[in-house]
Copies of this chain bind each other. A is one copy, B any other.
Amino acid sequence: MRKLLRVNMGELSVKEEVWPAEREPIGGRQLTSSIVSSEIPATCHPLSAHNKLVVAPGWLGGTGAPSSGRLSVGAKSPLTDGIKESNVGGNAGVALSRLGIAGVVVEGLPPDDNIRVLHVTADGTELLVDNELKGLGNYDATDKLREKFGENISCMTIGQAGEMRLAAATIATTDEEGRPTRHAGRGGLGAVMGSKGLKAIVIDKEGGQRPESADREAFNKAAKRFAQLLSEHVVTGTNLPTWGTNLLAKVINDAGLYPTRNFQEGQFELVDNVSGETQRETILARGGQTRHACHHGCTIACSAIYVDEDGEFVTKGPEYETIWAHGANCGIGDLDAIARMDRLDDDIGLDTIETGAAIGVAMEGGLLEFGDAEGVIRLLEEVREGTPLGRIIGSGAAVTGRACGVRRVPVVKGQALPAYDPRSAKGIGVTYATSTMGADHTTGYAIAQNILGVGGDVAPLKPEGQVDLSRTAQIATAALDATGLCLFVAFCMLDVPETLDMVLAMTNAHLGTSVDEDWWTELGKEILRKERDFNARAGFTAVDDRLPDFFEEEPLLPHGTVFDVPHDELDTVFDF
């Protein structure tokens, strides 16, 4: 029988609620957004006792379905002041699922300044004080936690940024090697965890087991076919495993939408230095690892282990978004430097997208030069130390824009734009503008049809058709984020209808339900409705569903286009 853990930091208590496998909300983003939307007063301060940190694996988590171990983390965002679901790999999701935990809800504010650890085991859950963890980065913190709790754990931790309650702070999860390399990055959820005095959630895997399926045989059959479909699709079966996410760098740069120097240009002259091809060659030449799975049971395995010239571990990946944010966006074309920045971000607990965007804004504000890699590394260390400059950067791009008096600040709902310029791929621009999450490529990845030719083609430079494209993608993604499946399976789903059939077949076999495609679509809509409703109650209006002025006014080279999807069309994205 599944359970939901209610952790009250004010009372320092943990309570278990029975939560049957098929009980709605079942899992993932469905569960986090339902609880956030129904239990948190939308206008509360994100660092107040009213906010809740909600952690939920998807309903396929732990089942052995390929790539199903993603974990949703939700709260009212300290960055956007709206609802947030941040989706993360690593092994915490699978570990929770295998202990039969549908979710963890952390409520209230602690009565004192102690640093606490939530220790989750098959035998029960307790809150422990451990002030030795105070001020540690994620790497040291997870080392200490392993010393104390043994090797057989998965951890969710915050670094110094989260302890300082900075709005770009992440929550790290540990990977197969126990390293804190996977991050619920977006929206400052680490600050929420920090405000609650919680440094770590430690999940002891001992006694965990694969959740029972209603029809195991049917499940295994569907899962096997699903894995086969993934392996046969060129993106999930070949491209991602071979080159990783950063295979996009050259594709996006060639298409003219690789945001360069704080979105001043659409192509980066040093892209070859930081491309996925170069990254793969570098890693292989040095004895690193490609085809590394971010979580147990992922068959796509699109990540990597980046090593230095001596073959020593530096960091995972780094991923496409990180290499862009710290690279082209800051005018930096040095993969080794970017890998060090990624490692620092992971250790301090910083969203690489938000942090890179903030630094890009600071560079535009004259605080340091574009291209100054050593300057960036010093800056990140300042975040760790909590210097005033570090606190500005760690508060994200919008605050950095304020402090530097900069006008070109690439944020929507206070959250920085990722690595696709919306002037030259207008479907993703619609997603950035309208997503309940603030600017977020993962909530409606129109790049697939705008640029990659996956799931059809929608001309990227025209305003026509982008709203429909984004709407469909946002609905499907919301449903997918509830399953625990990685978003990347969507590439296969878009091209091969049988993929969704297999997801539904796995769902029905596991839960004993008989849901169909209509249910799936309605699920996605229902999640979005709850999120929109929360945001409306938090004060968001159509004005918040817009890109910053400059995307509509300053043409982007090489295409010379602006973002020109009409505002009244943007306002129809959620007409369903």
Of the candidates B43, B191, B195, B548, which one forms a contact with A543 in the assembled complex, judged by CB atoms under 8 Å apart?
Answer: B43
The answer to whether B549 and A405 touch across the interface, beta carbons within 8 angstroms, is no
Indicate if A399 sits at the interface (CB-CB under 8 A): yes
B residues less than 8 Å from A389 (CB atoms): 388
Indicate if A115 sits at the interface (CB-CB under 8 A): no
B residues less than 8 Å from A471 (CB atoms): none
The answer to whether B388 and A164 touch across the interface, beta carbons within 8 angstroms, is no
B residues less than 8 Å from A387 (CB atoms): 388
Taking the full assembly, how many copies of this chain does it contain?
2
A43 to B, closest residue via Cβ: B543
Knowing A388-B388, A539-B544, the reply to whether A549 touches B43 (Cβ < 8 A) is yes
Complexed CA–CA distance, A326 and B407 (Å): 30
- The stretch of A45-53, A247-255, A346-354 that contacts the partner chain: A45-53
B residues less than 8 Å from A548 (CB atoms): 45
Q: How many residues of A contact B (CB 8 A)?
A: 41
Complexed CA–CA distance, A545 and B447 (Å): 39
Complexed CA–CA distance, A546 and B41 (Å): 14
Of the candidates B42, B167, B195, B537, which one forms a contact with A402 in the assembled complex, judged by CB atoms under 8 Å apart?
Answer: B167
The answer to whether B47 and A405 touch across the interface, beta carbons within 8 angstroms, is yes
Indicate if A391 sits at the interface (CB-CB under 8 A): yes
> Restricting to A146-173, which residues have a CB under 8 Å from any CB of B?
164-167
B residues less than 8 Å from A543 (CB atoms): 42-43, 537-539
Indicate if A403 sits at the interface (CB-CB under 8 A): yes
B residues less than 8 Å from A399 (CB atoms): 395, 399, 402-403
The answer to whether B164 and A405 touch across the interface, beta carbons within 8 angstroms, is yes
Indicate if A541 sits at the interface (CB-CB under 8 A): yes
A194 to B, closest residue via Cβ: B405
Indicate if A129 sits at the interface (CB-CB under 8 A): no
Of the candidates B388, B406, B542, B549, which one forms a contact with A392 in the assembled complex, judged by CB atoms under 8 Å apart?
Answer: B388
CB within 8 Å of B: which residues of A?
42-45, 47-48, 50, 78, 164-167, 191, 194-195, 387-389, 391-392, 395, 399, 402-407, 409, 537-544, 546, 548-550
List 3 tightest A-B contacts by C-beta distance, closest first: A165-B405, A539-B543, A388-B389
5 CB < 8 A contacts A-B: A42-B543, A48-B550, A537-B543, A539-B543, A541-B541
